[in-house]
Amino acid sequence: MNPLQSRLAARVAEAPVPAAEVMALALYDPDHGYYRRAEGPWGFDGKDYYTALDLGPLLGQTLALRLEAAWERLGRPARFTALEPGAGRGWLGRDLLNAVSGPFAEALVYVHRDDNPAAKMAAKTALAPFLAANRARLAAETEPLEPFLGCVFSNELFDALPAQPWRWDGTRWVREVLAAEGPEWQAAEPGAAGAWFTQHSDGLEPGDGSLWCEALPGLVHDLAAPLTAGLFLTIDYGESAARLLAKGADLRRFKAHTVDGKWHEDLGEADLTADVDFTRLAHLLEGQGLKELAHVELSKWIRTHAPLDEWGAGWMALPEAQRLKRMENLLQLTLPGQMGSRFRVLEGWKG
Ligand SMILES: C[S@@+](CC[C@H](N)C(=O)[O-])C[C@H]1O[C@@H](n2cnc3c(N)ncnc32)[C@H](O)[C@@H]1O
């Protein structure tokens, strides 16, 4: 039994532990948490999962165009800060910085914000030329954010925040806990979560349920408040509040490229994720002064914003291996059933 598992077993022997607390321990325990380990879990071979960034630079290239449009809309300021919380290995920042040119590139400063030690190490390598040229910097999560003009963007940040599964059993709300015999659903007072779920349902059916992320308002405030004007853009797994409720959203475990619901096993050695409630995220951003909030499937966002005609023509001139890689990158992000249909992109504007 690993150290987290034995610590949890001792707690569970005293009283059941809510699933959100198990997730917090599994991902963020300072010594053994999955996102506090020295070695990274990303990529294809022998790792737990890959993200859209492992597929190629197309996401970063499309993001670069959205950020440049935001810079234009702000009146081409001399400095445009792009803050990426949960930046992981810094690959999206790298792809973004590689894609920009001209006056926008001169204005852009990329800030990587993620305390994950393995990710930070990888980011130092990925961003090395940009760090040396003062076009990028690494910030600690505890570093206070000064007011800035520009953009906050993230990929798979909010799905990595501890979240509590709740279900409507027909007469009352129950929450998922780890008890001595294993996971079970126990009656509890849902407070703000219950009020939110009820408000976003057309009439609850037994089995309906969703996830409640307690830390979401605080993090949204910390990230959106310092943005004086500009774009907030988030890419993540998730759905609207109503759709999550109807599907009975639950926690997922990723291990060695397989997905299951065993959130209480292999603590600290497997990734846990929770679908993001995009309705709630948009509502909280609205409370921080963001406007024009909308979210769409990633595949649609790519089809809308990537200049595919232009790129397609350029790709035809590439050596075959490179051309095929670009095509595959595009298909993964746009075909039904592939990565682009599992993610959503939320955008909002401040100022
Ligand atoms: C699923 S990973 C995504 C990493 C990267 N964006 C990617 O797509 O490969 C989630 C990351 O969010 C980080 N994270 C969690 N909470 C955070 C917070 N409050 N501020 C900054 N980073 C955070 C974790 O350390 C982890 O590296």
Q: What ranges do the domains of the chain cover?
A: 52-159+215-239+276-350
Average pLDDT over residues 133-158: 97
Rounded Cα gap, residues 216 and 214, in angstroms: 6
Given this model, what pLDDT does residue 99 score? Answer: 96
Residues 332, 333, 336, 341, Cα dihedral to 10°: 130
Helix then strand then coil, in percent of the chain rounded to 5, is 40, 25, 30
Please, is 169 exposed, middle or buried when counting C-beta atoms within 10 Å of its C-beta (0-12, 13-18, 19+)?
middle
Class at the top of the CATH hierarchy for domain 52-159+215-239+276-350: alpha beta
**If you measure from the C-alpha of residue 137 to the centroid of ligand 1, how many angstroms do you get, rounded to a whole number?**
16
Our answer on whether the CB atom of 141 is closer than 6 Å to any ligand 1 atom is yes
**If you measure from the C-alpha of residue 159 to the centroid of ligand 1, how many angstroms do you get, rounded to a whole number?**
9
pLDDT band at 196 (very low <50, low <70, confident <90, very high): very high
Inter-residue contact 72 to 99 (CB < 8 Å): no
Rounded Cα gap, residues 291 and 297, in angstroms: 19
320-334 and 298-305 helices cross at what angle (nearest 10)? 130
Tokens of 130: 């940009």
Q: Give the residue from 111, 97, 107, 103 showing the smallest Cα distance to 146.
A: 111
Given this model, what pLDDT does residue 96 score? Answer: 98
**If you measure from the C-alpha of residue 156 to the centroid of ligand 1, how many angstroms do you get, rounded to a whole number?**
7
49 secondary structure, DSSP code: B
Rounded Cα gap, residues 296 and 233, in angstroms: 11
Give the tens place of pLDDT for each residue, 120-130: 999 999 999 99
Rounded Cα gap, residues 241 and 22, in angstroms: 23
Our answer on whether the CB atom of 85 is closer than 6 Å to any ligand 1 atom is yes
Inter-residue contact 243 to 344 (CB < 8 Å): no
pLDDT at 146 over 80: yes
Average pLDDT over residues 54-80: 96
The H-assigned helical ranges of 155-231 are: 191-199, 216-224
Rounded Cα gap, residues 223 and 274, in angstroms: 20
Residue closest via CA to ligand 1's atom 22 equals 86
Give the tens place of pLDDT for each residue, 243-266: 999 999 999 999 887 899 999 999
**If you measure from the C-alpha of residue 191 to the centroid of ligand 1, how many angstroms do you get, rounded to a whole number?**
28
Q: Which segment of 70-79, 105-114, 281-290, 310-319 scores lowest on mean pLDDT?
A: 310-319
Given this model, what pLDDT does residue 30 score? Answer: 95
Given this model, what pLDDT does residue 245 score? Answer: 96
Average pLDDT over residues 156-179: 97
SS3 label, residue 167: strand
pLDDT at 49 over 80: no
**If you measure from the C-alpha of residue 267 to the centroid of ligand 1, how many angstroms do you get, rounded to a whole number?**
17
Residue closest via CA to ligand 1's atom 18 equals 86
Which of 37, 94, 116, 237 to probe ligand 1 with, by most ligand atoms within 8 A of CB?
Answer: 116
Rounded Cα gap, residues 127 and 135, in angstroms: 9
pLDDT band at 310 (very low <50, low <70, confident <90, very high): confident
Inter-residue contact 74 to 229 (CB < 8 Å): yes
- Percent of the chain surpassing pLDDT 90: 89
Tell me if the pTM is above 0.85: yes
291 secondary structure, DSSP code: E
pLDDT at 44 over 80: no
Given this model, what pLDDT does residue 104 score? Answer: 98
Rounded Cα gap, residues 290 and 157, in angstroms: 19
Q: How far is CA 160 from CA 39, 146, 237, 248, 272, in A?
A: 17, 25, 10, 19, 7
**If you measure from the C-alpha of residue 112 to the centroid of ligand 1, how many angstroms do you get, rounded to a whole number?**
10
Average pLDDT over residues 200-219: 96
Q: Which atom of ligand 1 is nearest to the CA of 113?
A: 21
Our answer on whether the CB atom of 239 is closer than 6 Å to any ligand 1 atom is no
**If you measure from the C-alpha of residue 273 to the centroid of ligand 1, how many angstroms do you get, rounded to a whole number?**
11
pLDDT at 293 over 80: yes
pLDDT at 41 over 90: no
Our answer on whether the CB atom of 41 is closer than 6 Å to any ligand 1 atom is no
Give the tens place of pLDDT for each residue, 335-351: 999 999 999 999 999 99
Rounded Cα gap, residues 141 and 187, in angstroms: 35
pLDDT band at 108 (very low <50, low <70, confident <90, very high): very high
232 secondary structure, DSSP code: E
Our answer on whether the CB atom of 223 is closer than 6 Å to any ligand 1 atom is no
H or E, element range at 214: none
Amino acid sitting at position 71? W
Q: How far is CA 248 from CA 81, 205, 244, 295, 338, in A?
A: 38, 10, 6, 21, 22
**How far does the chain reach from its first CA to its final CA, in angstroms?**
52
Average pLDDT over residues 97-121: 97
pLDDT at 50 over 80: no
pLDDT band at 328 (very low <50, low <70, confident <90, very high): very high
143 secondary structure, DSSP code: S
Average pLDDT over residues 37-43: 82
